[in-house]
Amino acid sequence: MALPKGRILKELVPLLEKAKITPEKEFFNPNSRKLLFTTNQKKLSIIKVRSFDVATFVAFGAAQIGVAGDDVINEFNYEEIYNLYDLKIGKCRLSVAKIKEKKPTVDKKGHIIVATKYKNITTNYFAKKGIRAECIKLNGAVELAPKLKICSTIVDLVSTGKTLSENNLEESNLVMQITSKLIINKIAYKLMNDDITKILNKFKRS
């Protein structure tokens, strides 16, 4: 099972407890560099990876099950993955944000420059509005891009909106609401259906 590091992992721990899945002690050590952990379930091990990488690990069969947000699922859109169960954690939203009191800079040819981690989602979102988005790919500190005059618009995750406000930005449009989902590799689901279904049911009962 591939689990994301960081904020979502903290919300996942109570669900693991309710599902009676107990990782080894090192799993809870914040200073550990270990990435692969055993659990009390004989056929289940856990890997900790970056949240943005979970879907890739599951799609390529390195993990049979994973927990990923709608942002990651939609950005990669892997055909090899089933999106099976909403865990109702990791709630946030993906939004378009711009410099306060300034319209997004769209030129006469319907072209806009956007800083984002989500190139595919952003391109598709603006394309549906008839706007061609040129994406500047940033994996962090996206809010700095408008302040440094790289662009006037970003697409990024928003929880409270505090970070946007602190950087003189405001939400202009909602792209999608996000929660974390239990995802499963399609081939593994066929070949290991009994084992995977047992784990899935543990979460559904939790």
14, 48, 53, 55, 73 from 201: Cα distances, Å: 16, 22, 24, 21, 21
* CATH topology assigned to domain 2-90+179-205: D-Maltodextrin-Binding Protein; domain 2 (3.40.190)
- At residue 185, the pLDDT reads 98
Q: Where are the domains of the chain?
A: 2-90+179-205, 92-177
- At residue 95, the pLDDT reads 98
| Residue 160, CA atoms < 13 Å, CB-side half-sphere | 4
At residue 115, the 3 state secondary structure works out as strand
Series of mean pLDDT values for 10-residue runs along the chain (206 residues): 95 96 95 95 96 97 98 97 95 95 71 96 96 95 94 94 93 97 97 95 88
Q: Two tokens at 36?
A: 């692969």
CATH architecture entry for 92-177? 3-Layer(aba) Sandwich (3.40)
- At residue 167, the pLDDT reads 93
- At residue 109, the pLDDT reads 73
Global confidence as pTM: 0.92
Q: Two tokens at 91?
A: 């709630």
92-177 has the same fold as 2-90+179-205: yes
Exposure string of 39-68, with b = 16+ CB inside 10 Å and e = fewer, is bebeebebbbbebbbbbbbbbeeebbbbbb
- At residue 120, the pLDDT reads 98
